[in-house]
Each structure stands twice: as C-alpha cells, then as structure tokens.
Amino acid sequence: MAMGTRGVLAIFAGLLMTAGFVAARTENRLLGTWLMMLGFVFATLWSVMSVFWSESNPSPLGSEAWLSLAAMAAAGAVYFGYLGLYGEGMGE
C-alpha cells in the first residue's frame, strides 16, 4: 500500500515535534521551539488536507472536526513561532 501526501505530512509533523522535545530537553530550547513550530505547521497542513479528504472518503471524523484540529494546530504554530521570534525557548 502506497503512502499518500497526508501520511507523509503526519510523519514529518510527528518527527519534528519529537525532535523539538528532545532538543528542548538537551538545553537547546530555542532550537526545540523552532522545531515544534515547524511540526505544528506540518500538522496544520495535514489537517487542512484531511478536511477535503473526508468529504469524498469515509472518515471517522467529519469535516468540522478536521477543521477544528487544523485551527488548533495553527494556534500551536503561531504560539511556538512567537516564542521563537522573541528568543524564548520552551520551558524558559
């Protein structure tokens, strides 16, 4: 079974968020913040794609739920982006 674009975006989001947590735990907090922001950007893209995907395919969540997840992921990207812009790392 081939992996689609949504699957690749989900894997990137998970890997970037995991790397962000690891970087923050190893005293590289600013790098961890930027990696978390990138992870949430990928999660936002994945959720937005899922909104359109769920309209034509069977999905456990409806379009409204996917849109809500996209809004939460975008809020996370904005939050970590502002932390990074102001030079504050996670946990500081």
DSSP states of 29-81:
HHHHHHHHHHHHHHHHHHHHHHHHHHHHS--SS-HHHHHHHHHHHHHHHHHHH
Token pair listed for 72: 């939460």
**CA-closest candidate to residue 81, choices 20, 37, 21:** 37
Q: What is the pTM of this model?
A: 0.88
Report how far residue 5's alpha carbon sits from residue 3's, in angstroms, rounded to the nearest whole number.
7
Q: Spell out the per-residue pLDDT of the chain, length 92, in tens.
A: 557 888 899 999 999 999 999 998 888 889 999 999 999 999 999 999 988 888 888 888 888 898 999 999 999 999 999 999 888 777 66
